[in-house]
Amino acid sequence: MSPIYLDHAATTPIDPEVLQIMVETYQQVVGNPSSIHSFGRQARKIVDESRHTIAKYIGARSREIVFTSGGTEGDNIAILGTAFANSDKGKHIITTKIEHHGVLKTCAYLETQGFTIDYLDVDRTGRISLEELKSKLREDTILVSIMFGNNEVGTIQPIHEIAHLLADHQAYFHTDVVQAFGTADMDVKDTPIDLMSMAGHKIGGPKGIGFLFVRDGLSLQAYTHGGDQERKRRAGTENVPAIAGLARAVEKVGEHFHERIDNCLHARQIILETLDEEKVTYKINGNPDHFLPQVLNLYFPGTNVETLLTKLDLAGVAVSSGSACTAGSVEPSHVLTAMFGERAPETVSSIRVSFGDLIDEDQIREAGRIIAASVRDLVSLRKAGEVL
Ligand SMILES: Cc1ncc(COP(=O)(O)O)c(C=O)c1O
C-alpha cells in the first residue's frame, strides 16, 4: 500500500497546473523584473498580473500586496515592520498564546527590544475572548496580531468582530491567514484588517512564496535593506516563477472554494465515522462551530503522541502532532497547553489529521482504520502495564 498523506496543514502537494505554469515561466521568462529591457518588462508583466490576481481575490489594491517567502516572513514583516515604524505611538502589542511561532517568536524578540506584549488566553475550544481583548487594549497599543484559523486545532477566531473593535483604535490589526486561506472567506474590503500574511504551500502553490497584504497608508518599516522592490517593503529580486504559481493557486482557490470545503468536511466525516465504527475512544480538540474543515485534531486517551505517530508512519499514514515546526520535538504543543493547561493529557495524546482539496474516500477510510488499530494497540499495551 502506498503511504497515505494526511498532513496537508503542514504543506500540500503542488497542483499540477500550478507546476506547469512555473515550469513555463522558468523556461520562457529570462529577465529580472527590475530591468528596463524587454526581458525585464516580460518578467515585470508577470509579477504585476499576479499581484493584480491576488489583490482582486482578497478585495485589495495591487499596491497593497507584498510578495514574501511565505508565512513566517509575512508575519515578521508585519510585526517588526509596524512595531518599529510606530514605536513613537506606543510599545504595546497584543497577540494570543496559540499563534504560530512565526508570530510568537517575533513578539518574544520585540520584548527584548523594549516592547510589552500581552498574550491572550484561549478557552478549551481554542477561542479568544473579545472581552479579554477589550480589557487588554491600551491607548499605547500599536498592534494586535491574532491568527484567522489555528494550524493545530483549526479553531477560527472572531476576526470580523476583532477587526471592527479595532477600527477606531490606533492599533493596527494583523492576522495570519496561512491556514485559513482557501477554506475561509476573507475580504479586506468588508473587514478592516490592516495586515494579512499568507503562504502558497498550504493551497497547492509552491513552497517559499507567499504575500503580505499591507493596507494603504499604514506605516511599515522594511527590515530587509537593498533594492527598491515591493515598494521598498521587501528588498530582493522577485521569485517570478513562484509568484506566477502562487497567483494561479489563489485563482484556483476561488474557482473551487465550496468544493474544497465540502471535500475536507467529507474526509473529516469519514475519519470520524471509521473511528466510531471501530469503537475507539476519542475527543475532538477544537471548536465545534468555528473550525477549518481541513484540520482535525484528535485526542486519544491513554496514548503517547510520539509513539502513535511513529506507529502510524510505519503503517503508512502520515499525520502530525501539530505544526510542522514543532513536529519531531518532544515539547508538548503550546496550543494544546493554552487550551487545556500544563500537563493536561490532551497535550501528550493528540494528533492532527489534515486534508487537501482532492480526497480518495477509500484511502481515508483505510487511514481511519489504521489510526483505530494503532490506538487500540497502544491503549491495550498501556493497560497491560507496558509504559509507553
Ligand atoms: C498559521 C501558520 N502561520 C505561519 C506558518 C509559517 O508559514 P511558512 O512555512 O510559509 O513560513 C505556518 C506554517 O505551518 C502556519 O501554519
356 lines ligand 1 (CB under 6 A): no
- pLDDT confidence of residue 161: 97
322 lines ligand 1 (CB under 6 A): no
Contact 251, 57 (CB under 8 A): yes
Query: What type of residue sits at position 128?
Result: I
| Best probe residue, ligand 1, of 179, 294, 326 (max atoms within 8 Å of C-beta) | 179
**β-strands 141-145, 172-176: how paired?**
parallel
Can you tell me the distance from the alpha carbon of 192 to that of 175, in angstroms, rounded to the nearest whole number?
Answer: 11
- Which cell numbers in the block locate residue 366? 483505510
- pLDDT confidence of residue 325: 46
> Of all protein residues, whose CA lies closest to atom 9 belonging to ligand 1?
71
Which of 179, 115, 113, 173 is closest to 144 using CA atoms?
173
Tell how far the Cα of 25 is from the centroid of ligand 1, in angstroms. 26
Tell how far the Cα of 1 is from the centroid of ligand 1, in angstroms. 30
If you count them, how many residues does the chain have?
388
332 lines ligand 1 (CB under 6 A): no
- Calculated CA dihedral for residues 44, 57, 181, 85, nearest 10 degrees: 60
54 lines ligand 1 (CB under 6 A): no
Contact 156, 185 (CB under 8 A): no
Residue 263, domain member (yes or no)? yes
Query: What type of residue sits at position 173?
Result: F
Name the packing angle between helices 361-383 and 257-277 (round to 10°).
Answer: 40
φ and ψ of 28, to 5 deg? -105, -20
- pLDDT confidence of residue 322: 63
Residue 104, domain member (yes or no)? no
- pLDDT confidence of residue 388: 53
pLDDT digit string (tens) for the chain, length 388 residues? 789 999 999 999 999 999 999 999 999 999 999 999 999 999 999 999 999 999 999 999 999 999 999 999 999 999 999 999 999 999 999 999 999 999 999 999 999 999 999 999 999 999 999 999 999 999 999 999 999 999 999 999 999 999 999 999 999 999 999 999 999 988 999 999 999 999 999 999 999 999 999 999 999 999 899 999 999 999 999 999 999 999 999 999 999 999 999 999 999 999 999 999 999 999 999 999 999 999 999 999 999 999 999 999 999 999 998 654 455 555 789 999 999 999 999 999 999 999 998 779 999 999 999 999 999 999 988 888 765 5
Residue 25, domain member (yes or no)? no
Residue 210 CA: nearest ligand 1 atom is 10
Q: Is 380 exposed, middle or buried (0-12, 13-18, 19+ CB in 10 A)?
A: exposed
SS3 call for 331: coil
Residue 201 CA: nearest ligand 1 atom is 10
Can you tell me the distance from the alpha carbon of 308 to that of 302, in angstroms, rounded to the nearest whole number?
Answer: 11
Can you tell me the distance from the alpha carbon of 285 to that of 337, in angstroms, rounded to the nearest whole number?
Answer: 12
Tell how far the Cα of 71 is from the centroid of ligand 1, in angstroms. 5
Can you tell me the distance from the alpha carbon of 75 to that of 98, in angstroms, rounded to the nearest whole number?
Answer: 14
Can you tell me the distance from the alpha carbon of 110 to that of 147, in angstroms, rounded to the nearest whole number?
Answer: 18
SS3 call for 156: strand
CATH number at residue 270: 3.90.1150.10
SS3 call for 155: strand
Determine the longest span between alpha carbons in the chain, in angstroms. Answer: 74
Contact 63, 185 (CB under 8 A): no
> Of all protein residues, whose CA lies closest to atom 7 belonging to ligand 1?
71
Which of 317, 271, 300 is closest to 377 using CA atoms?
300
| Best probe residue, ligand 1, of 68, 100, 183 (max atoms within 8 Å of C-beta) | 100
Residue spans of beta strands (DSSP E) within the chain: 4-5, 65-68, 92-96, 116-120, 141-145, 172-176, 195-199, 210-214, 283-285, 295-299, 317-318, 350-354
Contact 129, 158 (CB under 8 A): no
Number of domains in the chain: 1
Residue 181, domain member (yes or no)? no
Residue 11 CA: nearest ligand 1 atom is 14
- pLDDT confidence of residue 381: 85
Give, for 255, the enclosing helix (H) or strand (E): helix 240-255
Residue 276, domain member (yes or no)? yes
72 lines ligand 1 (CB under 6 A): yes
Residue 72 CA: nearest ligand 1 atom is 11
Tell how far the Cα of 128 is from the centroid of ligand 1, in angstroms. 20
Residue 159, domain member (yes or no)? no
Residues involved in catalysis: 325
Residue 298, domain member (yes or no)? yes
Residue 207 CA: nearest ligand 1 atom is 10
- Calculated CA dihedral for residues 299, 304, 305, 308, nearest 10 degrees: -100
| Best probe residue, ligand 1, of 147, 151, 152, 175 (max atoms within 8 Å of C-beta) | 151
Residue 107, domain member (yes or no)? no
Return the residue matching grid coordinates 529580472. Answer: 32
147 lines ligand 1 (CB under 6 A): yes
Contact 307, 164 (CB under 8 A): no
- Which cell numbers in the block locate residue 146? 491574532
* Structural domain containing residue 337: 4-12+256-383
Tell how far the Cα of 366 is from the centroid of ligand 1, in angstroms. 29
Which of 302, 287, 315 is closest to 349 using CA atoms?
302
